[in-house]
Amino acid sequence: MFKEKKTAVIVLTPAAKELALKLKKEYRHLDLYLPTKLDKENESYQAFSSLSSLVGKIFKEYDALIFIMALGIVVRIIAPLLESKKSDPAVLTIDDTAQNVISTLSGHLGGANQLTVEIADFLKARPVITTATDCNNKLAVDLLAQRLDCKIKPFDRLKKANGALLFGSELHIFSDYKIKIKADNNIKIYSLEQLQELRSSEAFEIIISNQKFKLEENQLQLIPRNIVLGIGCRKNTTAAAIRRSLKSLLEELNLLPASIKKIATIDLKKEEAGILELAAENNWPLEIIEREKIKEVETGLDIKKSDFVKKITGVAAAASPAAVLASGVGKLIADKKKYEGITLSVFEEEVTDE
């Protein structure tokens, strides 16, 4: 996980610099920041004259920041910059002698706890983690959401969900996905179809689903990003037109927009402005599928095919095979839904942490 994060290491002393170089040798992607007085070797460091100015500038540019200095300095420096546990980067603090690696900020959602364990293991240091769920060896709902790549809705009920576990209340989880959650005296696991039957005002309830639900006060939903949308359209179709069609399809399938993981289309449409705009405005990755790849698999796909489409594009279908080829294990839940000049297909990936 550490190697996947854009990480900055910030030091103040010569001893901290040596420790940073040790990390840099193992993890070459790290950006090192040194005080001007330590930057004497003309190497690939970035020098700074003011620690507070530097941190204010780079705080949101990195996934993780590692400070090799006293914890008190770090707390004072980052305090004015904190916004939300949803967006703040992971922050770790390491002392100059590498005795302790302290998870300082964004332990769960930011990944600081896991980074702390990884780096402490590398440095043969002691990992210091203070989040209550970890200390009490309890399930953390935000970590579960991260593990399953889910959006938390509404986010302000996360504290209630974790609190239910810490204070011994019951937590009921409703899901049809294959997830590793161990049921115990406080945690009960049910299928979604049991939701209405087993509704309880005494327990806190978590629904893990990409479907739309009207949530009660004691409910929180984890929305997995497991929907891949295949798109085909006429030339010069506007993003507004695709947006309207997509809205209709999501309503028909009772799917939440937050469940969309990415969109896919064939190579003929790789520069289609409407598709590009839709992807950009929603921050959805756009995967371009080569027609040659579709030709290799389309005969074996149980999808709607068209001789007319094949005559024009060289393949018998576009949206559905694009969605299938851009996805992992799962199933096509909407095949070639046609709108005016637009074709949409929906693939639902399995959600699992096995």
Q: Which pLDDT belongs to residue 5?
A: 76
Query: β-pairing, 342-349 with 227-233?
Result: antiparallel
Residues 188-199: tens digit of each pLDDT? 888 898 988 888
**Which residues face 127 on adjacent strands?**
101
Distance CA 192, CA 174 (A): 5
Task: Measure Cα distances from 33 to 14, 59, 62, 137, 354 in Å.
Answer: 12, 13, 13, 36, 39
Task: Say whether pLDDT at 136 is over 50.
Answer: no
CATH architecture of 227-349: 2-Layer Sandwich (3.30)
E strand residue ranges, the chain: 7-11, 31-35, 46-48, 64-68, 90-94, 100-105, 126-128, 150-153, 171-175, 187-190, 204-208, 219-224, 227-233, 260-266, 286-289, 330-339, 342-349
SS3 at position 34: strand
pLDDT of 307-345, one tens digit each? 888 888 888 888 999 999 999 999 999 999 999 999 999
CA distance 67 to 76: 12
Across the chain, mean pLDDT equals 86
Share of the chain above pLDDT 70, in %: 91
Percentage of the chain beyond pLDDT 90 is 47
Q: For residue 79, count other CB atoms closer than 10 A to its CB.
A: 9
**Residue in 321, 343, 319 with CA at minimum distance from that of residue 241:** 343
The whole-number pLDDT of residue 135 equals 45
Judged by average pLDDT, the poorest of 115-124, 155-164, 212-221 is 155-164
Segment holding 20, helix H or strand E: helix 14-26
The 10s digit of each residue's pLDDT in 244-300 is 999 999 999 999 999 999 999 999 999 999 999 999 999 999 999 999 999 888 888
> Could you identify the residue written with the tokens 């914890």?
71
Domain segments of the chain: what residues? 2-130, 141-224, 227-349
Q: For domain 2-130, say whether CATH 3.40.50.410 is its number.
A: no
Residue range 190-244, pLDDT digits in tens: 889 898 888 877 888 999 999 999 998 889 999 999 999 999 999 999 999 999 9
Which residues fall within 8 angstroms of residue 65, CB to CB, at 6 or more apart?
7, 8, 9, 10, 55, 58, 59, 89, 90, 91, 92
Angle at 55 between CA 54 and CA 60, to 5 degrees: 120
pLDDT at 139: 65
Indicate if the pLDDT at residue 98 is higher than 50. Answer: yes
pLDDT at 28 over 80: no
pLDDT of residue 308: 84
Closest alpha carbon to 350 in 144, 178, 173: 178
DSSP for residue 237: -
**Better-predicted residue by pLDDT, 140 or 50:** 50
Could you write out the DSSP letters of every residue in 62-129?
Answer: -SEEEEES-HHHHHHHHGGG---TTTSPEEEEE-TTSSEEEEEE-SSTT-HHHHHHHHHHHHT-EEE-
Q: Spell out the CATH class of 141-224.
A: alpha beta
Q: Which two tokens stand for residue 177?
A: 């996905």
Closest C-alpha among 55, 72, 129, 66 to residue 98: 66
Q: For tokens 């904190």, name the residue.
A: 82
More confident position, 36 or 109: 36
DSSP letter at 194 equals G
